[in-house]
């Protein structure tokens, strides 16, 4: 063993020892902050990151290539481009779609997308000169309303930009047929829904392009990170080119797109490879926590619209979403303050109705119908955590605190 190998082994061993000594933090009701999510990792990820640093090449390298291969196997796609965030993945997917000769998308063409969304779902449309056509979603499922999609069709519709919000799949039977019949390109944002399935097929693999996020609060994490999946042989090099300054292939100073630099570093992929091994458990635990929370909230249906899985789907819940009923007799802020005081983190449902967000007031967008559900969720929707760091003891405490609040109404 060389001196370098000996020191490395010692170092990795020390990191493992540190994590063993730390152990698991004890839950103290009312004192421990119950996060909506937190990355779960240990000495294995840290050692992989340290090893990647010690190897000396920080840029995209062998771990990234390996991650792309392994993640393809997990989701069931043939090609993957790793990037530095889910938002970057959306930007790359839309940029590639708009520049793929097969789809003939030009400035002013339209993309159907829900108004109840996250900003970086629709930002890349605006940034590429594609007009977002905003439709309503269903409360409980938080999935795009398929009847509203039909009303949104026009001669200029070229694309559907489809987030599986909160980890619950959209109605993919309807949407894939809708896209086929109307010759629309489908970009599926699976950033909230890693591991979710519809008819046994993973979300993010139904459309021409699928995107994923590996941000700290997501199903698996690299700190920041994302990916674009596709089965289209021509699409993958376009995505990669936009990611890598617009260049053609690796190592050449030839550019065929006006691109970006949205590459991750290899250390992120090294951590991601370990996280991928844990992903099956992460998803399973989220589903179990969803079930336990649901059981606890069933008695509170008079006050809340409870989350509801789309038919034929197995969601991979991002959080536990709730919408306060009109006649509940309390305001979201009152409940939210009470929960924060009990150290239970709670958040609005992402951007709510994007039309109401200041940045979009002057944006060139089209609105279909009155968006009443998106509006309702903007004011009365919120979610709490169900990530794998949450166990039955914590759920019991959370449910008891909700009951305590409701008893005072
Ligand atoms: C639906 C959706 N798409 C995209 C993103 C962006 O992902 P990232 O934070 O990795 O940029 C998010 C963020 O949570 C999201 O909820």
Q: Is 350 in the pocket of ligand 1 (CB under 6 A)?
A: yes
Q: Quick one: pLDDT at residue 409? A: 87
Q: Where are the beta strands (DSSP E) in 180-244?
A: 185-189, 197-198, 201-202, 209-213, 226-230
Q: Which of 226, 248, 272 is the last residue of a domain?
A: 272
SS (H, E, C) 24-83: CCCCCCCCCCECCCCCCCCHHHHHHHHHHHHHCCCCCCHHHHHHHHHHHHHHCCCEEEEE
Both 263 and 298 in one domain: the answer is no
In which domain, by residue range, is 258 found? Answer: 48-272
Question: Candidates 39, 86, 166, 226: which one to mutate for ligand 1, based on the most atoms within 8 Å of Cβ?
Answer: 86
- CATH at 320: 3.90.1150.10
Q: Quick one: pLDDT at residue 292? A: 98
Spot the catalytic one: 218, 219, 257, 379: 218
Q: Quick one: pLDDT at residue 295? A: 98
For 130-161, the pLDDT digits (tens) are 999 999 999 999 999 999 999 999 999 999 99
- Residue 132 CA to its chain's centroid (Å): 20
Q: Which of 231, 257, 272 is the last residue of a domain?
A: 272
Q: Is 75 in the pocket of ligand 1 (CB under 6 A)?
A: no
Q: Quick one: pLDDT at residue 287? A: 98
User: At which residue do the structure tokens 């909700």 appear?
Assistant: 402
Q: Is 113 in the pocket of ligand 1 (CB under 6 A)?
A: no
Q: Which of 242, 272, 302 is the last residue of a domain?
A: 272
- CATH at 89: 3.40.640.10
Q: Is 188 in the pocket of ligand 1 (CB under 6 A)?
A: no
The whole-number average pLDDT for the span 63-76 is 98
Both 286 and 244 in one domain: the answer is no
For 173-223, the pLDDT digits (tens) are 999 999 999 999 999 999 999 999 999 999 999 999 999 999 999 999 999
The whole-number average pLDDT for the span 158-178 is 98
Q: What percent of the chain has pLDDT over 70?
A: 100
| Structural domain contains residue 331 | yes
Q: Is the pTM of this model over 0.95?
A: yes
Residue 162, strand partner residues: 188
Based on the residue annotation, tell me whether 257 is a catalytic residue of this protein: no
| Structural domain contains residue 33 | no
Both 287 and 265 in one domain: the answer is no
Q: Quick one: pLDDT at residue 24? A: 83
Gyration radius of the chain over CA positions:
22
Q: Is 138 in the pocket of ligand 1 (CB under 6 A)?
A: no
Closest residue to atom 7 of ligand 1, CA basis: 86
Both 52 and 91 in one domain: the answer is yes
Q: Quick one: pLDDT at residue 252? A: 77
Closest ligand 1 atom to residue 117 Cα is 1
Q: Rounded to the nearest whole angstrom, what is the distance from the C-alpha of residue 224 to the centroid of ligand 1? A: 10
The pLDDT of residue 83 is above 90: yes
Both 106 and 160 in one domain: the answer is yes
The whole-number average pLDDT for the span 346-370 is 94
Both 249 and 329 in one domain: the answer is no
* Domains contained in the chain, number: 2
Q: What percent of the chain has pLDDT over 90?
A: 96
The answer to whether 235 and 294 have CB atoms below 8 angstroms apart is no
| Structural domain contains residue 159 | yes
């Amino acid at each position: 063993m060389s001196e370098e190998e000996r020191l490395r082994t010692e170092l990795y061993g020390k990191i493992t020892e540190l994590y063993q000594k730390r152990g698991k933090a004890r839950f103290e009701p009312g004192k421990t902050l119950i996060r909506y999510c937190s990355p779960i990792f240990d000495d294995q990820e840290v050692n992989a990151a340290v090893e990647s640093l010690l190897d000396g090449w920080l840029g995209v390298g062998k771990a990234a290539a390996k991650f792309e291969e392994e993640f393809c196997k997990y989701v069931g796609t043939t090609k993957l481009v790793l990037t530095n965030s889910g938002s970057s993945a959306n930007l790359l997917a839309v940029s590639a779609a708009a520049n793929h000769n097969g789809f003939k998308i030009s400035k002013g063409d339209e993309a159907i997308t829900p108004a109840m969304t996250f900003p970086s779902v629709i930002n890349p449309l605006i940034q590429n000169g594609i007009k977002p056509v905003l439709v309503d979603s269903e409360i409980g499922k938080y999935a795009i309303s398929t009847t509203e999609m039909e009303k949104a069709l026009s001669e200029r519709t070229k694309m559907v930009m489809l987030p599986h919000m909160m980890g619950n799949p959209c109605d993919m039977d309807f949407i894939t047929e809708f896209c086929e019949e109307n010759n629309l390109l489908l970009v599926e944002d699976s950033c909230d829904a890693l591991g979710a399935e519809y008819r046994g097929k993973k979300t993010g693999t139904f459309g021409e392009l699928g995107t994923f996020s590996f941000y700290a609060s997501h199903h698996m994490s690299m700190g920041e990170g994302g990916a674009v999946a596709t089965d289209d042989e021509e699409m993958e090099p376009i995505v990669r080119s936009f990611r890598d300054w617009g260049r053609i292939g690796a190592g050449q100073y030839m550019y065929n797109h006006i691109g970006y630099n949205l590459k991750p570093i290899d250390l992120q992929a090294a951590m991601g490879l370990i996280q991928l091994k844990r992903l099956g458990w992460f998803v399973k635990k989220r589903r179990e926590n969803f079930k336990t929370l649901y059981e606890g909230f069933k008695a509170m249906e008079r006050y809340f619209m409870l989350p509801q899985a789309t038919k034929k789907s197995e969601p991979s819940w991002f959080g536990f979403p709730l919408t306060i009923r009109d006649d509940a007799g309390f305001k979201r802020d009152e409940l939210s303050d009470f929960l924060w005081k009990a150290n239970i983190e709670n958040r609005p449902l992402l951007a709510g109705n994007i039309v109401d967000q200041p940045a979009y007031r002057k944006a060139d967008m089209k609105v279909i119908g009155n968006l009443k559900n998106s509006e309702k969720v903007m004011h009365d929707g919120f979610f709490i955590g169900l990530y794998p760091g949450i166990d039955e003891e914590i759920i019991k405490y959370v449910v008891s605190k909700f009951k305590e609040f409701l008893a005072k109404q």
